[in-house]
Structure 1
Amino acid sequence: MKDLNRRTFMKCMAAAATTVVVGQNVSSASALNSSIIGRLNSADGAYAEQLAFEITSDFKKSPKNFLSQMSGFRKSDINQITGLLFYGYSYENINDLWVILSDLGETSSDLEVKTLSQSMSKSLMLYVESQKQIILSSHPSFTNKNIGIQPRSSTWKISVVLPTNRNYKGTLEIYSSSGSRVLSCACLGLAAGNGSMSQYKGNTPTGTYDAWLAGPHSNTTSYGPYKYVATTPKSGVAYDSNRSGIWIHGGDPAPTSSKGLPRYPLRPTYGCVRVTNSDQLAIQNVLNNQSQKTGVLEIIERDT
């Protein structure tokens, strides 16, 4: 069960998010309490990724205590927590999560913990079975049709063109204020659940954004070791759907077992634009050399 594809699992696990967007201050989930429910349903983009790592970290400290705190949680909330745990463990070894849940399901003296562990273990097993049904649709190689020059503007611009089939990579290009293209690289706009652009934790939403360099983030596993591009939506799906935390960042590559997937070596996110760490460094260097601190990010989707 190591390094499994998250797309189908998150489809099984995902529950609809209906509350307002959480602020950019995602506090530590040192204990499961009533506040975490709102964060489960509203943390979006990079903030959802960070929440997954926080929850995974707390689970590792004491799985039994962690599960005991989930007593009384709704099934939809339990599904979301399971999905976030899966996301966190996917950077290490999914099998470790399954072994822990299976062991508690067999040996725990706490009936609620035992029942919950068994239910979560079954969810993972159902996901494994679903892998046998995965057939990726054929799709032509995606190429950006930009011609390498854009009109002059008052600042730099990042242009991200994503395919409608988000299992495939798109293209990220940076243009200086003079309109010259100064960088081009591959990127991924696929969410862990391959959900709609308009839902929290869904695919990278199209639209225009204010953009600037920030970081680096302390969680280099998920966000990469260099500066990331932070954004604020200004128009389009991102703005209309009240999405937040849509960054451009790096992170650990997908496992080698994913080499056959068209998105390799890029991992899905919770709505951000993923690039390789080497391209993240290149983006950092290019934007550091621009005279303007703030630029424009435009994300569009194009059939190929």
Structure 2
Amino acid sequence: MTGYILQRLALMLATLFAIITLTFFLMHLVPGGPFVSDKMMAPEIQAALNAKFHLDQPVWLQYLTYLKGVASFDLGPSFKYPGMTVNQMILEGLPVTAKVGMLALICVIALGVPMGVLAAVFRNRWPDNLVMVVATIGVAVPSYVIATLALYVFALRLGWVPTFGVDDWRGYFLPVFALSGFWISFIARLARSSLLETLGQDYMITAKAKGLRPGQILIKHGLRNSLIPVVTVLGPVAANLLTGSFVIEQIFALPGIGRHFVLSITNRDYTAIMGITIFYATILMVMIFIVDMLYLVLDPRIKYGRKTR
């Protein structure tokens, strides 16, 4: 087990190194630069800025310098926000993004899984049909459409929630709803299909023949085994939600990481783009690692680090 964990950590570091390398050189292959704008800048000023941020050095030397900074958890200064580092940008936007994402993840688990179980238990009956209609709508309609419609109805017409920002606790309702809508529907459909497949297995029929109660069969035997595909998907879903949505944060004017990422792309803020990309990739890899560890809880047959004969 220890060997497997060390192997996974080494693989995560290698993957992160590849992401850093690829992102860095792609940024420098894009024509233009962070100090090229519509307003003509004096060559002397542009040269001074390039020298200040070491952009006048060879690309390979910039790359080595950046790797050294990342190794010490320093993602560098922002090219467009004087006096602000990329670390500060992430720490500034992380509380709002993480809070909205955590609330959305709770909604996905608390609503998506029970909806899927309900639909599977009452297959081809009205609860199943109702859940599938709602889930189909949630999957088919883009999140920005849901966000815009909810903003118009609940904020502008009814006035139940603020139109933007999260100064008021009510301001979290619409962003969480828009961010989690698709994933609730997706998890509900996945949980339904997975549980239906599990209920048709021979060991489930045997458990029923032994006279076990339906609730005991469903929870102890059916639900536990059917949750493995759901947990597999929940890793990337959790990373997606916890790192926020660029579109949702823009629509609701949330001061999160997504807003910084959009602005950094617009401004060609190299260090901000690379730093936030590295942050996203790290969160995703950590969540996938946690999912792999959860497999041991859900399925004791899985033994990491042991060779099968």
TM-score (norm 1): 0.25
Q: Greater strand share, 1 or 2?
A: 1
TM-score (norm 2): 0.25
Asked which structure has the greater CA Rg, the reply is 2
Q: Greater helix share, 1 or 2?
A: 2
Task: Select the structure with the greater relative contact order (CA < 8 A; seq sep ≥ 6).
Answer: 2
